[in-house]
Structure 1
Amino acid sequence: MSRNVLKSSIHSASINIVFQILCRCITFGINSFVIRIVDRDALGIMNVRLLLLESTLAFLSREAIRRATLSSTSNPHEKHIWPHIINQLWLTLPIYCIFSVPCLYVWLNYGSAVADDIYDQYKFGCICIVVSGIIELFAETPVFVAQVFCFVKLRVVLDTLHIFVRSTLFIVLILRDPNQAISAFSYAQVGSTVTFAIGYYVYFIYFIDNAKKRIGATKRDDDNQTSDHQTPDIDDSIPFNSIKQMLPGYLENSSGTIFNDNLKSLVLSFFKQGFLKQVLTEGERYVMTISPLMSFSQQATYDIVNNLGSLAARFVFRPIEENSYFYFTQTLARDIPLVKQPRDKVEQAHSVLYNLLKVVTSIGLIGVVYGQSYAKTVLTLYGGTKFVDDDGLSVILLRCHALAIILLAVNGICEGYMFATMTSNELDKYNYYMGFFSVTFLLLSYQLTSFLGPVGFILANCTNMFLRIIFSSRYIHKQYHSVNLKPLDGIKPNKLFFITLIVLGIACKMSENRLFRQSVLGHIAVGAICFACTLGVWAFENQDLIKSYIDKRRQSTS
């Protein structure tokens, strides 16, 4: 199987974005329904407390190892690298179990108190989150193999199945008893994870078995034709002849060592970094969990608005960031200066980084402009007029969140590139800066929230992302200065596009003030027309980029 990293990354990112949009549309409708029938305190526990436990354990056990092993697979068909990778991936399971014990104890005994009438559900939910994480890690190796060898359709199908099973179970159970919403959430989490893990193993058993049959048929044909043609090996597709070889100790290891020293060093660097990044990513939830600044009901409101405000990050920025990180790890070497690397690869990486920054910056600016005029509309459609009227702060919160989109967009790409190309020593040094960013963010979150309420979380997050962008931009500028290239110029928006955004943003604001109370549909129609004009202007100014993307997609599909 030939593997073109750029084309497969574009293909994967494109399908993931479409997949995420479809899934978010489904979950948008489900959550809109759930908000109307489930108690707000239960929503706060599920969406803040339990999902924070899941996120914390995943980061502590899996993130560093997955990122480090991706850097070791620039030529994944080399079979000698896989025993170390397999052993490293299976380390996630004992690490997860070790961390789950203190985390479970903290979640059950510390933080803001849970009401007695739902404590048993909350305790059951914490246990189910840990169990579902263990089940998911049993499938870590096939998931990693699918990513490295670009099994894009497999990932999309199983991710879709995962979300479908979780959503269906949750809805069926809460319809039976809305007062057992936390228990329903817990059962759905475990059920969907079991489906996800089994799906990956079933597929690869089927894939390897079919590959063996094809090889056998080819051998028979060669014997009949007495040809000197070399028989293909299953390693042309993936370096595994049996599903057992995805387990530790089954794949032949000629090195005589269990783990690779360089890989261990890189894992340690990413682990330190992952711990700090987790604090930065989920800092507001940690503050809400530990401190009594906000009730569960207020936490639920903040989380609902935060989820709406971060839709772009979830189904657009995150797939782009993940696949761009994968592309850069496979294209550029960590330990070699750019001036000493192949010029064609450096120029290609520069072009990809420049265009990525241009695209995400444009998306961020669109989110900032239209978020000011359509925050109230979205919240009304999502949670109903009662949700908006009961908590007038939610509209202000979503508008502030729209301002953070542009920073979120640029930071994700810049940091993704930086983490993909830094050496182990540079990653270790950066951990100290991450520590500073983490402490600053937590202090700002606590102080600003004390005065401004939930808005303080957003302002603290904006400050934190701005500092991180400055650091990663300096790294990128310094790295490309030696080869006379400027990928950071992609952050600058085109003049006509920027002017169009300002003019149409004012038009949408006027529409909100005059049309919203009379006709919500009329206000939406105005926004749709303005949005279409905005996209038209952007496409006109970026014809070369669009043409290049279409060509790559066609090549990838063919």
Structure 2
Amino acid sequence: MSSRDALKSASALASYNVLLQVVFRVLTFLLNAFTLRFVSKELIGVVNVRLTLLYSTLVFLSREAFRRACLSGGSGAGRNWRQVINLLWLTLPLGVLWALLLVCVWLWLLEAPDAQIIPHYGPAVGIFALAAVQELLAEPLWVLAQAHMFVRLKVVAESLAMVAKCLLTVVMVVSAPDWGLYIFSAAQFVYTGFLVLCYVVFFCRFLGSEDANQKCFPLRGVGELLPHRADQEPWTDWTLTKLTWSFFKQSFLKQILTEGERYVMTFLNVLSFGDQGVYDIVNNLGSTVARFLFLPIEESFYVFFAKVLERGRDVRNQKQEEVAIAAEVLECLLKLVLVIGLIVTVFGYAYSHLALDIYGGSLLSTGTGPTLLRCYSAYVLLLAVNGVTECFVFAAMSQEEVDRYNLVMLGLSVSFLVLSYMLTWWAGGVGFILANCLNMGLRILHSLFYIRRYFHSSPWKPLRGLLPSRVLLLVLVLSAVVTAFSEGMLCCDSGWMLKLVHICVGGVCLLSVLVTVLLTETQLVQFVRTQLLPHYRKKHT
């Protein structure tokens, strides 16, 4: 696959992933707004913080390293997919081991919630762990689909699974609210079951078909999806195994950084279950844009950079045409996420209180909720830049550089946990966001130094993507001032007419920002128009 074809595939994957995240977030948004009317914030805290942390930790530690290693090199004809699939199946026994360990920790080392207020905690822990192990059954199929750019499969599979989860949750919350944690545990198990089923059905139909033969798919039958060893060859690629081990050490540290506030809340009890519930809801609202756009872009263009660049090789020793494309794409991506992040930061400040009041009523809009969401709006800007810079860095690093970066991640993990604990005692939930901002800033600096050094001896300067036009910055500053003044005068204890006026003011300011982007950021507009939007048009024609 040429670099241009890889760019088209990555753009399509990013487009479909963005669509998928939109569906996910809309459904989750509506589901949370619905369940807030039927369940307590303490129950929300246990489900969304403690049980979700168990699930995400188990899944992430079991598969993340395998994904990053096995996607390096893409779907080239020289790959031995039998060895890759054998390696990927190790995620299942690894997941079982992690499940046994984490279930013991969650049941016996952590303080259990009051059974009178939140019953069925023990069975819920077991079901969430079982759901995570069930999802690992689809891991070899997921990697095959990503490497061969089956962009629609992920959208369809995860959308169907999410719809099934939401429908089951709504039905059970209405019909049997006393079931408590059983409701969310069953819904999670159904979600992973649907996910695995969709991937299995697709590949059972695809393998051996005329379409597979036309695409020269490396596997011929369903039996080749199972682990097996061919004569006179190793069971798996030793180089790929060592790279997986390097990423595994890094993934453990990255998980601490990603879910650090939940670990602090879970293991150090700095917030009550009710406060954890409010924080998690605000965190989900604040991360909406990150999940809509930044995460799909990071996942999709990591695949692109991994295909185009030869891992660990100096920029002068690579194909210059492909390096030029990678530099151009990186610059445009940095500009794109920076502009989006600045918009979220500017308008998030003036509309946090109103958004929480509409979403959850006084349960969220009173107390620390608006302050949390305002701080998170600023944190989104750092999330935006870090996602793109790290996806490039992880695709370009050699194994030795990955190992060295593990030491950096270790230091960042320790400092983050210490900062989270100290700042939370000082500022409550806001302390978590402040600690995240400091830590994310350090990660961005490391990635920027690496990218600058990587392109130092070349004519390309992709970091110019972090320099928006002065006109755009001026319009953003004016919008921040106008919307903040509007909030103070019109929102949020006034009637709905004044609130609507406040919303209209924000709409006019946002329109001004978007027009300014169209007029001043022509390279960015061209990138979005040629690489991202065409895939949406194809989807709907």
TM-score (norm 1): 0.92
Question: CA separation in 2, counterparts of 1:301 and 1:50?
Answer: 16
In the alignment, is the contact (CA less than 8 A) between 1:234 and 1:240 conserved in 2?
no
**TM-align CA RMSD:** 1.8
Which string of whole-angstrom CA distances, capped at 9 and with x for unpartnered residues, describes residues 183-218 of structure 1?
10011111121111111111111122532xx7xxxx
Q: Which moved further from structure 2: 158-167 or 255-264?
A: 255-264
Equivalence for 1:538: 517
In the alignment, is the contact (CA less than 8 A) between 2:161 and 2:192 conserved in 1?
yes
Aligned AA for 2:204?
I
Task: Give 3-state SS (helix, strand or coil) of 1:36's partner.
Answer: coil
Equivalence for 2:180: 181
Question: CA separation in 2, counterparts of 1:369 and 1:74?
Answer: 41
Question: CA separation in 1, counterparts of 2:66 and 2:402?
Answer: 14
1:541 and 1:206, CA in 2 relative to 1: closer, same or farther beyond 3 A? same
Equivalence for 1:388: 365
Q: How far 1:31 sits from its partner (Å)?
A: 0.6
Alignment of 1:397-546 (within 5 A): 397-516=372-491, 517-518=494-495, 519-546=498-525
Q: How far 1:370 sits from its partner (Å)?
A: 0.4
Aligned AA for 2:514?
L
Which string of whole-angstrom CA distances, capped at 9 and with x for unpartnered residues, describes residues 151-176 of structure 1?
11121111110110011101111111
Equivalence for 1:379: 356
Alignment of 1:101-112 (within 5 A): 101-112=100-111
Equivalence for 1:12: 13
In the alignment, is the contact (CA less than 8 A) between 1:111 and 1:291 conserved in 2?
no
Asked if 1:117 is matched to 2:116, the reply is: yes
Q: Which moved further from structure 2: 196-205 or 512-521?
A: 512-521
1:280 and 1:140, CA in 2 relative to 1: closer, same or farther beyond 3 A? same
Equivalence for 2:270: 293
Specify which of 323, 331, 336 is matched with residue 313 of structure 2: 336
Larger Rg: 1
Question: CA separation in 1, counterparts of 2:119 and 2:112?
Answer: 13
Equivalence for 1:170: 169
Alignment of 1:58-77 (within 5 A): 58-75=59-76, 77=77
Q: How far 1:552 sits from its partner (Å)?
A: 3.4
Which string of whole-angstrom CA distances, capped at 9 and with x for unpartnered residues, describes residues 226-249 of structure 1?
xxxxxxx82734211111111111
1:44 and 1:259, CA in 2 relative to 1: closer, same or farther beyond 3 A? same
Q: How far 1:138 sits from its partner (Å)?
A: 1.1
Aligned AA for 2:143?
F
Q: How far 1:449 sits from its partner (Å)?
A: 0.6
Question: CA separation in 2, counterparts of 1:292 and 1:88?
Answer: 38
Which string of whole-angstrom CA distances, capped at 9 and with x for unpartnered residues, describes residues 266-311 of structure 1?
0011000000000011111001001121100000011011111111
Q: Unpaired segments of 5 or more residues in structure 2?
A: none
Aligned AA for 1:474?
F
Stretches (4+) displaced over 4 A: 553-558
In the alignment, is the contact (CA less than 8 A) between 2:379 and 2:433 conserved in 1?
yes
Task: Give 3-state SS (helix, strand or coil) of 1:73's partner.
Answer: coil
Task: Give 3-state SS (helix, strand or coil) of 1:481's partner.
Answer: coil
Question: How many residue pairs end up in the alignment?
Answer: 532
Equivalence for 1:351: 328
Aligned AA for 2:15?
S
1:276 and 1:69, CA in 2 relative to 1: closer, same or farther beyond 3 A? same
Equivalence for 1:259: 236
1:129 and 1:386, CA in 2 relative to 1: closer, same or farther beyond 3 A? closer
In the alignment, is the contact (CA less than 8 A) between 1:354 and 1:488 conserved in 2?
yes
Which string of whole-angstrom CA distances, capped at 9 and with x for unpartnered residues, describes residues 133-165 of structure 1?
122111111211111111111211111101100
In the alignment, is the contact (CA less than 8 A) between 1:32 and 1:383 conserved in 2?
yes
Aligned AA for 1:520?
K
Equivalence for 1:217: none
In the alignment, is the contact (CA less than 8 A) between 2:112 and 2:121 conserved in 1?
no
Question: CA separation in 2, counterparts of 1:163 and 1:522?
Answer: 36
In the alignment, is the contact (CA less than 8 A) between 1:112 and 1:291 conserved in 2?
no
Question: CA separation in 1, counterparts of 2:179 and 2:311?
Answer: 50
Task: Give 3-state SS (helix, strand or coil) of 1:443's partner.
Answer: helix
